[in-house]
Every structure is written in structure tokens, then in C-alpha cells.
Chains A and B, each alone.
Chain A
Amino acid sequence: MRLLLLVPLFLVGCGGFVPSAARLTWRSDGNPRVPACAAELVNCKQGYELLDQTSQVSTVLPLSASSFAGTAGHSYGLRVFGYDGGGVKIYSAYIWAR
């Protein structure tokens, strides 16, 4: 009986039921010569798309972001997006972190 009471306490204490946090950080958008988008969505970069590959959830972040609070143990991909000379939305390749 005493053991049954101790098991849940042990699991909560070790964080077994509560996902722990992971801090995602990045240095730059990788496109220093591309201007940020303003009124006209042409020849510019607009933001980041962060993909939680484990849960398949995407989050759009502004260009000013350089970190994100994620979930420990999940895999994340980060890419930058913007618009080409014809106003078509374009994406960089993903860079991955786990």
C-alpha cells in the first residue's frame, strides 16, 4: 500500500508526466543582404517557420526572434521565408536541431 502511494510521487518528482522544456536558439537568418519585407512583398525576407517534427506543428516567428521555448526530446526544423522578385513566396532549406 505504501509502495502504491510512492510510485506517483516518484514519477511526478522525476518529471515523468510533465514534458520538460527545451530552449531553441539560432544566430541569424543567414541572409544579411536581403532586406526585411515592408509594404511591398518583393525581394525580401519576412520571418521564420519553426517545425516541430515530432508533433508536426509549425509556428511562424518574426525576423526579430532568435529563440523559442520548445519541448525536450522533440526534433525541430527552422527555415526562413520571404518573397522573390516576382512576389512569389520562397523558403530556405530547413536547418535541424534536436
Chain B
Amino acid sequence: MKQLSKTAVLTLLLLLCLATGAQQHKTVLPKTGLIARPMASGGGSCTLSVCNTVNFAWQEAAYPSCPATSPANCISGFVLTDTTTNTVLAGGASTTPLGPTTHSFAWTPAGGLYYGTHTFSLVATGYDGSGAPTQSPAATTMFTNNLSTLAAPTGFSTTGN
């Protein structure tokens, strides 16, 4: 009986140890607290109809930056996406990189800012405790650029028959 309870305790300890070990490898990076606000070219406030930039900011992630070799339990950077148009704005393969110590990004779209409401998401990318790539849940924010005027149509002409 004494031997049986000793085996049970040992089994329990082994299971506990395994569970703890597994948890160490299941790192989920925290949300970042993304916010967006308008900014006129050159900084400062602006009337929304003339805004051409959206300024994003987010909180510092509670993980260290990844080292060059054997990264684990760390952040390698961020990816910012316009989920309304499904376009990566920064941090993607062919866009401006967002390193682990970067906590803001000013987005000035070529051709001018959209009108209406867009939703944006930010995820932190990094590596879990076992060194496998992982990412945080998406932090989201919305930004509305209100329309106040419309430009006239172009190229209007008439030809008689």
C-alpha cells in the first residue's frame, strides 16, 4: 500500500513536470494596444478632409527582442495590416520593417488617404519557448476619414452627330 501511494505521488509529480514543461513552450505573445490618429503632413493636428497620414502607436510588448541566434521567448517585430483592403502597410516582406523596439508608424498612402472607415490590425511576431515562430493575437483599431466635399467629374465633352 505504501509502495502504491509512492508510485502515485511520483506519477503525479511527473505529470505536473510535463505540464509545466509544455507550458514553457506555448508562448503566446501579448496584445499590443494599437491606436490610430490622423496627422497632417509635417505633424500636428489637421482637418480630416485634408489629412494625408494616419499615425499608429502601440504599447511596448512584454518580451525581450530576439537575439540573432537561437531565438526563444522573444519578439522579432510587428506587422501592421489594413484589414479593410487586406494590405500589409508595414512589417511585411516588401514593406517598411517594424522592429521589436518600434512602437509607432506614420502611414502616408501614395495618392492620398482613403475616405470612410478602415480597420487596422497589429500583431507581434516572435518565437516561443521551443524556438518555433509564433505571433500575438491581433490588436485592432479603426480610423475614419470623413468626406466633406466631392471633386467635379473630369473630361466632360460633347460631340454632335
Q: Say whether A associates with B.
A: yes
Interface residues of A (CB under 8 A from B): 20-35, 42-45, 48, 70, 72-73, 76, 78-86, 90-98
Cα(A81)–Cα(B153), bound, Å: 10
Q: Are the C-beta atoms of B154 and A45 separated by less than 8 Å? A: no
B5 within 8 A of A: no
Partner of B154, one of A28, A33, A85: A28
Cα(A42)–Cα(B154), bound, Å: 23
Q: How large is the interface on B (under 10, 10 to 19, 20 to 34, 35 or more residues)?
A: 20 to 34
Interface residues of B (CB under 8 A from A): 48, 111-117, 144-161
- Report chain A residues within 8 Å CB of B159: 22-23, 25
- Report chain A residues within 8 Å CB of B157: 24-26, 97
- Report chain A residues within 8 Å CB of B111: 32-33
- Report chain A residues within 8 Å CB of B113: 33
Specify the chain A residue showing the minimal Cβ separation from B161.
A21
5 nearest interchain CB pairs? A27-B155, A85-B146, A92-B150, A43-B116, A30-B151
